[in-house]
Amino acid sequence: QKEVEQDPGPLSVPEGAIVSLNCTYSNSAFQYFMWYRQYSRKGPELLMYTYSSGNKEDGRFTAQVDKSSKYISLFIRDSQPSDSATYLCAMSGGSNYKLTFGKGTLLTVNP
């Protein structure tokens, strides 16, 4: 079992739709949870950062963490064509400094 599982998609939605992206994980030591967005031919950029369980909202983006279920989500409201990218979940915890990534979900928002 991989430490982090993420459905690779692809996911295609119409402009204005609500998008839900998810990851599950197996390592109970993970306490820090991040979502990165990666446009084609670019490096990943940090979108959301949360610690432990709970919700965090930033504009059209909401990140949720449920540590009891080992499940994290990213919601995008009123999706725009500019949101078309690969979304990567990442997590870390314990005494090391590395991030463990999901494989990423390719999202296309159609005008």
65 exposed, middle or buried (CB, 10 Å; 0-12, 13-18, 19+)?
A: buried
First to last CA, the chain: 38
Stretch of 16-24, 25-33, 53-61, 70-78 lying at the interface with another protein (CB under 8 A): 25-33
Cβ neighbour number for residue 66 with a 10 Å cutoff: 13
9 binds another protein (CB under 8 A): no
The site for another protein, by CB under 8 A, has a size of 27
Q: Are strands 4-6 and 19-25 parallel, antiparallel or unpaired?
A: antiparallel
43 binds another protein (CB under 8 A): yes
61 binds another protein (CB under 8 A): no
Q: Which of 25, 79, 84, 104 binds another protein (CB under 8 A)?
A: 104
The one-letter code for the residue type at 70 is K
C-beta of 18: minimal distance to another protein in Å?
Answer: 25
Q: Are strands 11-14 and 105-110 parallel, antiparallel or unpaired?
A: parallel
Q: Which residues bind to another protein, rule: CB under 8 A?
A: 29, 31-32, 34, 36, 41-46, 49, 51, 88, 92-104
